[in-house]
Amino acid sequence: MKDAFTRPDAMTTGSAGRTAEWLDHRFFTRAPWVCARELIGCVFEWRGCVGEIVEAEAYAADGDPACHTFSRPSARRFVEQHAPGTSYVYLNYGVHWLFNLLVKGPAGHGFVLFRALEPLAGLETMRSRRRRKNVRELCSGPGRLTQALGINGLDHAKLVLEGPDGGIRRGQETPEVVDCQRIGISKGADLPWRFCKDGAPSLSRPPDRR
């Protein structure tokens, strides 16, 4: 099933030589919440590690008090100066790297924060980086998944989707997505911009149904 947001050109995956259809940067030329929601169920491949995206959050560059652009001129500059699909990686609490992709749509710009993956391949690498053996502790949080995949500040401001390190493709099934309120923030927590794959084991926290 091809569409405007995939590029069938590059690379094959491990499975039986089928051509992978990576998400194009054009995927990220829509509203942040649309991108975040549609990323659920997609497969994120990164330097030999693979996971299904089961949790993501949207942040809006305009009017969203939880977005870095709200209080950080450098973040606003970043949005202006980079293309959709560019990584935005930053250190949180001086401890954890958090991974976002820049979104630039006609209705507004913003970010998608990757919050949890279901590990699919490269589990031993993830285990050694995380120093955990339980699968559910590998990628079930925004700081955990970056550690599991080896993502850090060197990956900031890169067109990760078009580089040799990785890519994102659509999954086989379209999962049931639960919309809920964003978590871990003190402002803008009312917006229903956290998206979870229903019943996924590796969510950072179970969705709050309202």
Partner DNA sequence: ATGAAGATCCGG
Partner DNA sequence: CGGATCTTCATT
State which residue, 152 or 174, has the beta carbon closest to DNA.
Answer: 152
Lookup: tokens for 179 = 């919309």
Q: Which is nearer to DNA, 113 or 177 (CB)?
A: 113
C-beta of 83 vs 91, nearer to DNA: 91
Q: How far is the CB of 163 from DNA (least distance, A)?
A: 20
| CB of residue 79 to DNA, shortest distance in Å | 10
Q: Which residues bind DNA (CB under 7 A)?
A: 57, 59, 66-68, 71-75, 88, 91-96, 98, 100, 111, 113, 130, 132, 137, 141-145, 183-187, 204
Give the SS3 label for residue 88: strand
Beta carbon nearer to DNA, 6 or 204: 204
Residue 138 CA to residue 140 CA, distance in Å, equals: 6
Q: Please report where in the chains the tokens 């990628």 appear, as a residue.
A: 139
Give the angle 175-137-170 at the CA atoms, nearest 5°. 25
- Give min distance, CB of 13 to DNA, in A: 27
Q: How far is the CB of 93 from DNA (least distance, A)?
A: 4
Contact 129, 151 (CB under 8 A): no
The CA distance from 150 to 120, in Å, is 16
Cα separation of 184 and 170, whole Å? 28
Report in angstroms how near the CB of residue 204 gets to DNA at its nearest: 5
Cα of first residue to Cα of last residue in the chain, in angstroms, is 34
Q: Which is nearer to DNA, 32 or 167 (CB)?
A: 32
By the 8 A CB rule, do 182 and 57 touch?
yes
